[in-house]
Amino acid sequence: MFGYFVKRTLQAVFTAFFVVTLSFVLVRLMPGNPADQLRGQLIRNNPDLSQEEINRRVANYINIDYSQPLHEQYFAYVSGILRGDLGHSVSQNAPVSEILGQALPWTVFAFSVAILLMFVLGISLGAVMAYNEGSRFDVSTTGLGIVLNSTPNYVTALLFLYVFGFTLGWFPTSGHISSSIVPIVDPFRPVATAQFVASAVYHASLLVATVVITGFGGVALAMRGNSIQVLGEDYLRVARLRGLSDTRIALRYVARNAVLPMYTGLLLAFGAIIGGSAILEQVFTYPGLGYYIVAAVEARDYPLMMGGFVLITLGVVVGAFIADLTYGLVDPRVSTGGDAS
């Protein structure tokens, strides 16, 4: 167990290190040299700045001072990120960490609700499908699952936006909360807090619905496969022979053993979906992490781009790390670690 812990920790640290290095390499390889571009911009806007002052500002913006030797640039970049300094966004004219820090909670909020719903719906549907394997319900739901899974989520998003946003006007088509609401979470002002939460949920609802609709089919099919496999195991026959109740068998034996393999899937899906959030947030004009990354790429705002990339990747690495470590707690069979595959 200890060896497993050490191995996973080392791997997570190594991955994080790899990602930071990769982002450094990418920013250095960027076409049109971001530093020169910035320098030109600064000189145009403030003609009377001294050369040193401009160099200092450029270094401050992209976290890399191009006049230093390469290893020093790299060291400064990494230590900057470790301190939480991701540079200064050119297009938004604010520190990158501040912009992303404000965007992050919205992305996490909307997508955790969505993923949770997706898994709850998918797992229950998959269990029912497996129980009625081969029935007309099973066949039609499997077909539906395949169709929904073949649809990219931004296509569903566009359709929802068109139907429920623009045509029927039931749901807002942009933003996190309506402009008349004060963002406040205060136990002493329950009405205002409830209004804020309700507005946030209302604005995220189309996005959540999109993720759930395009995702639950895949979860249901995976759960169905796992359950069918469990249903064929000997210990279930033994449990039936022992005269255990159906409910107990369904919950303790089938559900538990079928859901376990999907636990890591949950955390990995979280990372993957947040990573893929850019297009959805763009469609719904929902200013979260992905929205700012796309905006940064469009404006060639290298500091913001790299900051978003590093932040999302570190989030995914941490998620995978937690999944790996806690999986042993949830499923005693893998506590010895090693390669379960």
Partner 1 sequence: MSQGNQSETQPVGSGGFGTVADSSLSRGERYRRVLDLWLVAPLRVVWNDVRARIGAALVVGFLVMGVVGPALVAEPRVGQAPLLVGPFEGGLVGGSWYEVTSTSLFGVSVPWVAVHWPLGTDNVGRGILEQVVHATPRMLTMITTAGLFVTVLGTSVGALAGYTGGRLDQLLSTLIDIVMTLPGLPLLLILVALLEPKSPVVLGIVLSLQGWAGMARAIRSQVLTIRSTSYVEASQAMGLSTPTIVAKEIVPNIMPFVMINMVNAMRQVIFASVGLYFLGLLPFSEVVNWGVMLQLAYSNGGLLTVDAAHWLLVPMVAIILLSMALILFAQGMDRVFNPRVRARHAETTEGSGDEPTDTSARTASLGGEL
Binds partner 1 by CB under 8 A, chosen from 95, 172, 218, 287: 218
Among 57, 27, 26, which Cα is nearest to 42's? 57
Closer by beta carbon to partner 1, 200 or else 280:
280
Compute the least distance from the CB of residue 213 to partner 1, in Å: 10
Q: Are 148 and 173 in contact (CB under 8 A)?
A: no
Taking a C-beta distance cutoff of 8 angstroms, is the pair 290, 277 a contact? yes
Nearer to partner 1, 4 or 195 (CB): 4
Beta bridge mates, 241: none
Question: Binding mask 228-257 vs partner 1 (x if CB under 8 A, - otherwise)?
Answer: xx----------------------------
- Among the candidate windows 68-76, 86-94, 208-216, 243-251, which touches partner 1 by CB under 8 A? 208-216
Ramachandran category for residue 243: left, alpha or beta (phi over 0 → left; psi -120 to 50 → alpha): left
How many residues of this chain bind partner 1 (CB under 8 A)? Answer: 72
Segment interacting with partner 1, rule: CB under 8 A, options 83-91, 218-226, 243-251, 329-337: 218-226
Q: Which of 39, 88, 176, 224 binds partner 1 (CB under 8 A)?
A: 224
Q: Answer yes or no whether residue 316 interacts with partner 1 by CB under 8 A.
A: yes
Query: For residues 17-36, which are near partner 1 according to CB under 8 A?
Result: 18-19, 22, 26, 29-31
Query: Which of residues 11 and 195 has its CB atom nearest to partner 1 in the complex?
Result: 11
Residue placing its CB nearer to partner 1 in the complex, 15 or 193: 15
Start-end of H helices in 1-95 = 2-29, 34-45, 51-62, 70-82
Taking the C-alpha atoms of residue 178 and residue 165, their distance in angstroms, rounded to an integer, is 14
* Nearest to 86, CA basis, from 104, 246, 149, 78: 78
Burial level of 93, CB count in 10 A (0-12/13-18/19+)? exposed
Distance CA 96, CA 88 (A): 5
CB-CB contact of 170 with 161 (8 Å): no
Q: Of 63, 89, 153, 199, which one interacts with partner 1 (CB under 8 A)?
A: 153
Segment 264-283, which members bind partner 1 (CB under 8 A)?
Answer: 265, 268-269, 271-279, 282
SS3 (DSSP) at 88: strand
Hey, which residues between 75 and 134 contact partner 1 (CB under 8 A)? 118
Q: Of the candidates 108, 117, 158, 260, which one interacts with partner 1 according to CB under 8 A?
A: 158
Q: Which of 95, 172, 290, 303 binds partner 1 (CB under 8 A)?
A: 290
State whether the Cα torsion 96-114-169-161 is positive or negative.
positive
Select from 293, 303, 304, 337 the one that contacts partner 1 (CB under 8 A): 293
Please answer whether residues 89 and 303 qualify as being in contact, where contact means their C-beta atoms are separated by less than 8 angstroms.
yes
**Nearest to partner 1 of 77, 154 (CB atom):** 154
Among the listed ranges 43-51, 76-84, 143-151, 249-257, the one in contact with partner 1 (CB under 8 A) is 143-151
Cβ atoms of residues 9 and 321 within 8 Å: yes
